[in-house]
A = this chain, B = another copy of it.
C-alpha cells in the first residue's frame, strides 16, 4: 500500500496549519474564547469524517479514478465539469503556496537566520521544487514513505507524551501562555450574540483547512495498487482517522499548555500591558507544543520542526505531480491546448510545472508568505470541488437506481446516496459559511481566478469544437478525389548538394511536370547559377523569377498562384532544400528565407511544401530525440 505516503503528505500536512487557524481566529475574542477551540475542532473533524465517507463512495463508483473532474463532468455536464476543473487548478496553486509558506514559518521558527526572510525562503523552496520536477525525478513511493512515517511517528510521540505528562500533572505551560491576549473591542462581552456566532463560524471555516488534501486522493486513484478503489477507500479512512486524532489532540494539548496564538502577535499579545517585543517570533502551534511536551530535550523541537517542514514540502510536491496530469486530462478533453495530453511531450509538462510555480510564487509574494491569508483562498477552491463532486455523486446514484433491478444492490446504492447526500449538504453549507465569512478576506480572489480560468477553458473548447465541425468529413467522395496531375517546383538558390538532393528527390517522385525555380536578386549570382545549371545538363528546366525589390517570398508566391490558376486541379509540390544545423545560432544564419517562404506557402490552397533536409556536419549527434525539449527552439 505504497500509495498511502504519497497522498498522505497533502492530507496530513494540513494538521500543521489548521489548528493554528482555529486558535488565531478565536483569539480575536480574547483568551476566554479559546475554550471553544476543541469544540470547533470537533465539528471540523465531524465534517472531515463525513467528507471522507462521501469520497469513499466516489472512489468505489469511479475506480478508474477520474477524480472530481470526471465525477462532475459525467453527472452534471460539461459546464459544471469545467467549473470544478477551474477550482482544482486553483487548488493546486494554493496547495503549493500555502504548504511552502507554512514550511517557511516552521523553518524560521527553528533557524533564526530565516526570520524576517520567510518570503525569500518560500520563493527559493518553490524554485528548488520546480527545478527538481523539471529534471523529471521519478516519484518513488519510498522517498515519500520515510518522512511521512517519521511525521506520523513524531506527532504520535508528541501527542502520547503530552497526554501522559498532562495526566501525570507535569506538563509544562507553553512560553506563550504568559502573554495576555488583547481581543477586539467588539468581543468585550465574550462570544455572544451574532458577532460571537459569526466568529465561531469563521473559526470553523478556517479550521476546514484541515480537509484540504482529501480531494487529492480521489484524484489520484490510478496510482493505487490493485484493487485500486478498495485501497483508495481504505487509505481515505485511515487518513481521516489519523488526521482527526491529530487535530483534536493538538487542540486539547494547546489548551492544556495555555498556548496563545494570534494573527498579529505584535498588537494582540501583551506582557504586563505592554506589546511583546519587536523580535518576538510566533512559533507554529505544533512547534510550541514540542517545546512544552519535550521540555528539557531541545533536539525534539528541532526534529518536530524539520519533519513538519519536510511533510509540507512534500505536500507541495504532490501538486507538481498532479497539476500537469490534470492539464493533460483537460488537454485531452479540449479545454486546454491538446498537446498537453501527449504525455511524452516533456515540454508540455515543463510548461505546466513552470506555470504552477510562477502562479504560486506570485501568490506567496503578494500575500507576504502569510499562511493565514493564503488559506482563505485555499479553502474556497477545495470546497467548491467537494460540493460539486458530492452533488455529482448524488446524481450518479439516482441515475443508477433508475436501471438497477437487484434489490441488494439497490439498497447499497441508496445507502451510498444518503452518504453522498449528507456530504453534499454539509460541504455546501460549509462552502456558504466559508464564502460568507471569508469573502472579503480573499475568497473573492479565488472566485475571480476560477472565473477567468472557466472562461478561458470554455473559449478553448469552443474553438476546438468549431474547428472539428469545420474539418468533419461532410462529403466522403469529394474528399477521396485525387488531384489530376502533380506539378513539382524545386526551389534553387545555388548549385550545391542540398539543391541536388532536392532535385533528385523531386525527380524520384516522378511528377507530371517538374521545374526548378530561382529568384533573381543579384544579376551576377543569376548568371553564375544559369551557367552552372547548363553545365550540369539536367533534364529539369530552370525558371528565373524577377525580383526588382530583392524579395524572395512574394515572387515565388505569385508564381505558384499563377500555376494553380492555370490548372486548378493540379497539385503543386514545392520542394525546399533546407540545412539542418546543430546549434541555435547557426539556425539564425540559415534557412530564414526558406522558413518565411514555407510559412507563406502554407496559406496557399492546393500547395504541398516538401522540406528536403541536408544535415550539416554540426547536426550530427543531434538525432532529434536526445533533447527533445530544445528541438523546437533550434529547428523550427
Q: What residues on B are CB-neighbors of A595 within 8 Å?
A: 632, 636
Identical subunits present? 2
Q: What residues on B are CB-neighbors of A120 within 8 Å?
A: none
Give bound CA distance, A634 to B595, whole Å.
Answer: 12
Pick the contact of A509: B486, B536, B614 (CB < 8 A): B486
Q: What residues on B are CB-neighbors of A408 within 8 Å?
A: none
Do B613 and A610 touch (CB < 8 A)?
Answer: no
Q: Nearest residue in B to A588 (C-beta to C-beta)?
A: B337
Q: Give the interface centre of A342, A460, A623, A635 by most chain B CB atoms within 10 Å.
A: A342
Give bound CA distance, A352 to B51, whole Å.
Answer: 64
Do B522 and A332 touch (CB < 8 A)?
Answer: yes
Q: Nearest residue in B to A615 (C-beta to C-beta)?
A: B605
Give bound CA distance, A634 to B613, whole Å.
Answer: 22
Do B486 and A473 touch (CB < 8 A)?
Answer: no
0/1 per residue, A548-563, Cβ < 8 Å to B? Answer: 0111111001000000
The smallest C-beta distance from A469 to any residue of chain B, in angstroms, reads: 10
Tell me if A185 counts as interface (CB < 8 A to partner B): no
Tell me if A76 counts as interface (CB < 8 A to partner B): no
Segment among A147-155, A259-267, A364-372, A497-505 that sits at the interface with chain B: A497-505
Tell me if A472 counts as interface (CB < 8 A to partner B): yes
A504-548 CB contacts (< 8 Å) to partner B: 504-505, 507-511, 521-522, 536, 538, 547
Do B619 and A613 touch (CB < 8 A)?
Answer: no
0/1 per residue, A607-636, Cβ < 8 Å to B? Answer: 111111111110100111100100110111
Tell me if A429 counts as interface (CB < 8 A to partner B): no
Pick the contact of A470: B605, B616, B624 (CB < 8 A): B616
Tell me if A166 counts as interface (CB < 8 A to partner B): no
Q: What residues on B are CB-neighbors of A221 within 8 Å?
A: none
Provided the pairs A571-B505, A600-B628 are in contact, do residues A497 and B483 lie with their beta carbons within 8 angstroms?
A: no
Give bound CA distance, A581 to B508, whole Å.
Answer: 32
Pick the contact of A344: B507, B510, B547, B619 (CB < 8 A): B547
Tell me if A338 counts as interface (CB < 8 A to partner B): yes
Q: What residues on B are CB-neighbors of A599 within 8 Å?
A: 624, 631-632, 634-636
Tell me if A138 counts as interface (CB < 8 A to partner B): no
A348-389 CB contacts (< 8 Å) to partner B: 348
Tell me if A448 counts as interface (CB < 8 A to partner B): no
Give bound CA distance, A494 to B578, whole Å.
Answer: 29
Beyond A483-B508, A508-B571, 6 extra complex contacts between A and B, CB < 8 Å: A342-B593, A473-B496, A473-B500, A600-B624, A602-B611, A603-B624
The 4 closest A-B pairs by CB, nearest first: A344-B551, A600-B624, A603-B624, A343-B550
